[in-house]
Chain A
Amino acid sequence: MHKIIAFIGLLILAILLPQFSSAYVLGILVLAGVYVILVLGLNVCLGFAGQISAAQAAFWGIGAYTSAIINMRLGLSFWVGFPLAIVITGLVGLGLAIPTIKLKGFYLAMATIGFQQICFLVFVNWRPVTMGVDGIPNIQRPSIGGYLLRSDRSFYYFLLIWVLIAIIFSLRLEKSKLGRAMKALRDNQLAAEAMGIDTNKVKCIAFMISAAMSGAAGSLYAHFARYISPDLFVFSTSTLIISMLIIGGSGSVAGAILGAILLVALPESLRFLNNYYMVIYGLGTVLIVIFMPKGLAGLIGRIIEKLKFFLEHGRGREKVNE
């Protein structure tokens, strides 16, 4: 029950926030929304299925470039580019999953880092298609039934709908047969296989869903920023996405959301440190990992447990007194 109340509270906050924020803050809010989708995507792969992917920024880029190129070169709208970006990124994710199916842990991490680096070099050097470091300008904003989402505020609400869809999808997936199969794979692959789960298939699907969600985030980002260039789709962005999930709490949908919002907001709120903010930010990551082993979601869960215990304990004592 308290979960639903917290969720509705956050939703109301998310709806009201843009009314009080400046154009700059609004841009950060949109970016936070995009990162929430990205981290939810990684959560499917790493959080649920236990398969690390350090190529999420590459998938994000592939989604963004697909949508942007369809819009720029073919003149087709967001509503064509968006589903195509999801499908193509999903297929690329499957294409990465199949050859790396036997790898795990650090080896899988390195294979995905390799893929990430190759993608980045292609974004930079395949000039006829991606326009290299210059990037692709003048991407159109989406329109709904003739209403163009010209203002950032209207785009924010449009994005919020997609974030909600991603959250509900993640929650439904977690409870589904597939989601449980993923968790079984994460916790013990041998036991999962003994239970009759086709672990190879589950791994591929996890990678595919994870990539497709990043692709969706890419398309949304491209049509919001209206300009994309390779410097966003780099390895350090992939590590940022991993940090967001680990800090939030891997495997928890709420944790993924919190982690994404925190790590988008944190650098902004540390700007007063000027030069030092990346140093503080890096050290902060280390401290959170050391002192909150289950992430923010784990910490909040622990606080709720303590509160519950306290309340019940209190009630129990009252009964004794009676």
Chain B
Amino acid sequence: MFSMATQLFINGLAIGAIYAMVGLGIALIFRAVQAVNFAQGEFVVFGGFFAITFFSTIGLPVWLSIICGVLATMIMGYIFQRLVYVPLQRSTSITIVVATMGVSIALTDSSRIIWGAAPRLFPEILGSTVIAIGDLYVVPQNLVILVAALILFITQYILFERTFLGMQMQAVAQDKETAALMGIKVNRMIAITFLYSSGLAAIAGILVAPITYIWSTMGSGLVQKAFVATIVGGFGSVPGAILGGLFVGVVETLCGGFISSTYQDAFAFIILIIVLIVRPMGFFGEETMDKA
């Protein structure tokens, strides 16, 4: 019983780290442009597929395929920002949401046309031999995900809190006009945010590919879980997105293991509805007065 719970906990943390990475991208984009991005899940899919293509079709080594995959997705994210967000800058948020949903549909089917409907596998970085620690059996890829997530989050913390670039990005997130008056290039910062967020999504895709495979329609399910994670953590908050992701992953996996596996996907949404009713600002959100 105990070891099963620990086992599920580790699996949950790993999948939670994936939700956190996707959710973090959504949160950063939201902070920069005050609009949500429903196409974020498709960047996960494209990131995974790009890396698979570089590895098995072109024949690059694993580490180089990962870097190329991430770079290719970042370029996609930049193009997406130029073509969809820039023209819609002054539109209402629901209009932007519908536009990103359109992009999501188009990208989902593009990936099906390019790579086919069958799920594809990316090699596990540490091999597939299960590691036994006492009576715990850990899939190595789960450890890879957790370590990678940890390194990523620490790097990001240093980048955002300790560098000049990070401070400029924060200034843009807080107040665009004042930031522009201070001589910060607002549009460049927004473009960097999109580059970074799509890179994060690509890394998530490459990390999750050995466990769940990558297939063309996986994006929408993943992006919804990531939304749940960001709301549970506190929408627009960076630590909120990370902890929200881990929390949703763990609770969902534990509930799936102990309560009902058929309804596993429902638990995330049940958590969401409870959080929205009890504490709509999430764990880390600030309680803001509504100006209506």
Contact = CB atoms under 8 A, between A and B. Distances in A.
A236 B38 CA distance: 12
A102 interface: yes
Contacts of A239: 101
A289 B98 contact: yes
Interface string A109-126: 111011101100100010
Interface stretch (A149-157, A164-172, A271-279): A271-279
A115 to B, nearest CB: 7
Query: Dominant SS at the A interface?
Result: helix
A107 B280 contact: yes
A111 B227 CA distance: 10
- Chain B contact-residue range equals 35 or more
Interface string A226-249: 000000000110010011001100
A279 B109 CA distance: 6
A93 to B, nearest CB: 15
B105 A278 contact: yes
A224 to B, nearest CB: 26
Interface in A248-297: 250, 275-276, 278-286, 289-290, 293
B106 to A, nearest CB: 3
A283 B104 CA distance: 9
B95 A289 contact: yes
Nearest to A285: B102
B224 A113 contact: yes
Nearest to B260: A125
Contacts of A283: 102-103, 106
A129 interface: no
B265 to A, nearest CB: 6
Contacts of A280: 106
Size category of the A interface is: 35 or more
A243 B224 contact: no
B46 to A, nearest CB: 14
Contacts of A103: 276, 280
B276 A293 contact: no
Contact of A121 (B84, B228, B263): B263
Nearest to B277: A99
A117 B99 contact: no
Nearest to A284: B102
Interface in B1-56: 36
Contacts of A109: 97
Contacts, number: 120
B91 A111 contact: no
A19 interface: no
Interface string A87-107: 000000000000110110111
A22 interface: no
Nearest to A104: B290
Contacts of A46: 94
A92 to B, nearest CB: 14
Interface in A200-238: 235-236
B87 interface: yes
B113 A279 contact: yes
B98 A117 contact: no
Given A118-B270, A290-B88, A246 B220 contact: no
Contacts of B228: 110, 114
A52 interface: yes
Interface string B245-275: 0000000000000000011011011101100
A276 B113 CA distance: 8
A189 interface: yes
B287 to A, nearest CB: 12
Between A246, A250, A276, the greatest number of chain B beta carbons within 10 A of the residue's beta carbon is seen for A246
A83 B266 CA distance: 30
Given A114-B228, A242-B98, A282-B102, A121 B93 contact: no
Chain A to chain B: the 3 pairs with minimum beta-carbon distance, closest first: A282-B106, A285-B102, A282-B105
11 contacts: A113-B227, A121-B263, A189-B292, A190-B292, A243-B102, A276-B109, A279-B113, A282-B105, A285-B99, A286-B99, A290-B84
Interface of B: 36, 84, 87-88, 91, 93-95, 97-99, 101-110, 113, 220, 224, 227-228, 231, 235, 262-263, 265-266, 268-270, 272-273, 276-277, 280, 292
Given A106-B235, A278-B109, A286-B99, 16 more contacts: A107-B231, A110-B276, A114-B270, A114-B273, A115-B269, A243-B98, A247-B98, A278-B105, A279-B109, A285-B101, A285-B105, A286-B102, A286-B106, A289-B91, A289-B102, A290-B99
Interface of A: 46, 52, 99-100, 102-103, 105-107, 109-111, 113-115, 117-118, 121, 125, 188-191, 235-236, 239, 242-243, 246-247, 250, 275-276, 278-286, 289-290, 293
